[in-house]
Amino acid sequence: MRRVLVTGSAGFIGSNFVRDLLAAERATEVIGLDALTYAGNPAATAELASEPRFRFVHGDVADRPLVRDVLASAGPNAIVHLAAESHVDRSLVDVEAFLQTNVVGTARLLDETRRYLATHPDPDFRFVHVSTDEVFGALGATGTFVESTSYAPRSPYAASKASADHFVAAFIHTFGFPAITTNCSNNYGPYQLAEKLIPRTITTALAGLPIPVYGTGANVRDWIHVHDHCAALRAVLARGGIGASYLVGARCTRTNLEVVHAICDLLDDLAPLERSHRAAITLVPDRPGHDFRYAIDPSRIEAELGWRPTIAFEDGLRRTVEWYLARR
């Protein structure tokens, strides 16, 4: 059995990745580590309670003694680091939480893993650090992010993730640490917390409330279904090169208003009202420092690891709306 430690295992991407990994790889055991903050959802992995290949540990990646004990008891062959504070809006009012989890937590996890490997050498060990495209800042009307794009974070959240990325790179260079970094575009799918655009739009519309859209809704994001992201992470874990970084995206750019319109149209079909759900869209003042456009070029991971996204945005969005409708 291979043993994989997944941090942030009760979060949106983390819980989806745990289920995906266990389903895809029968010879893999997963140890999930999560602090169960507001974004941690125990129900996201509740169906795994009877799965003998999954064990959950309640704890914080910034807690050195706990991390040390988990590494010693679990003896992992790999770590997929997903634990993070991830919502830009929250980072504007609570910088400290992002500093503690994303920067201090990552640095301590790296250092404890380095110390663990010093006494438990494993030539096949991999540490996959999962980051975001927001570390690169904003694009203009054209262009895409690539692995060599300069870092230019523009929010406290992006700055905290950029710092974590730099710690990973420093450990690779200084200690020969066996890490790989991924930077992914906006995810959507089941179990996403309702503070993010797509689930917020769905749940707000179903509650009959105004659907808020920042500014004019012209800001552009690059969307990928979380199941495609999970498949990419499995490819990186299996075949990624130590020290490499991979940008993960589905070449699916949409303005925020286009996404909200698409959700409203699906709800008109699946949960119709007397008038279109679009009538509830309300433009609200833009948030500070709102990046205009993100877009990813995933050519490297496609060419080197053979990964491709398989879920079209229209299909994935319908499945996501149906998932939330079934759990109103």
Question: In this predicted model, what pLDDT tens digit does every residue of 214-261 receive, in sequence order?
Answer: 999 999 999 999 999 999 999 999 999 999 999 999 999 999 999 999
- A 10 A CB-CB count for 89 gives 14
CB 128 within 8 A of CB 168: no
pLDDT at position 12 over 90? yes
Q: Which residues have CB under 8 Å from 183's CB, separation 6+?
A: 131, 132, 133, 135, 136, 145, 165, 245, 246, 247, 248, 296
Q: How far is CA 328 from CA 10, 202, 205, 275, 314, in A?
A: 20, 10, 11, 20, 21
Amino acid (1-letter code) at residue 54:
F
Predicted pLDDT at 38? 84
pLDDT in tens, 63-111: 999 999 999 999 999 999 999 998 788 888 889 999 999 999 999 999 9
Average pLDDT in the 127-151 region? 97
CATH code of residue 149: 3.40.50.720
Predicted pLDDT at 95? 92
Q: Determine what percent of the chain is predicted with pLDDT higher than 90.
A: 91
Average pLDDT in the 301-323 region? 98
For residues 175 and 170, give the distance between their C-alpha atoms in angstroms, rounded to a whole number. Answer: 8
Tokens of 10: 């009760």
> Domain tally for the chain?
1
Question: What is the chain's mean pLDDT, rounded?
Answer: 96
271 is a domain residue: no
170 is a domain residue: yes
Q: Which residues have CB under 8 Å from 16's CB, separation 6+?
A: 44, 189, 190, 191, 226, 227, 229, 230
CB 224 within 8 A of CB 312: no
322 is a domain residue: no
For residues 247 and 285, give the distance between their C-alpha atoms in angstroms, rounded to a whole number. Answer: 31
For residues 189 and 175, give the distance between their C-alpha atoms in angstroms, rounded to a whole number. Answer: 37
298 is a domain residue: no
Nearest to 10 by CA among 82, 64, 71, 67: 82
7 is a domain residue: yes
Q: State the catalytic residues.
A: 133-134, 157
Predicted pLDDT at 89? 82
Predicted pLDDT at 90? 87
Domain coverage including residue 120? 2-189+224-249
106 is a domain residue: yes
| Listed range (83-92, 149-158, 241-250, 278-287) with the worst mean pLDDT | 83-92
DSSP SS3 for 200: helix
259 is a domain residue: no
140 is a domain residue: yes
For residues 23 and 230, give the distance between their C-alpha atoms in angstroms, rounded to a whole number. Answer: 12
For residues 125 and 238, give the distance between their C-alpha atoms in angstroms, rounded to a whole number. Answer: 10
Q: Determine what percent of the chain is predicted with pLDDT higher than 70.
A: 100
pTM higher than 0.85, yes or no?
A: yes
Q: What is the torsion angle, in degrees rounded to the nearest 10, for the CA atoms of residue 49, residue 311, residue 251 and residue 245?
A: 40
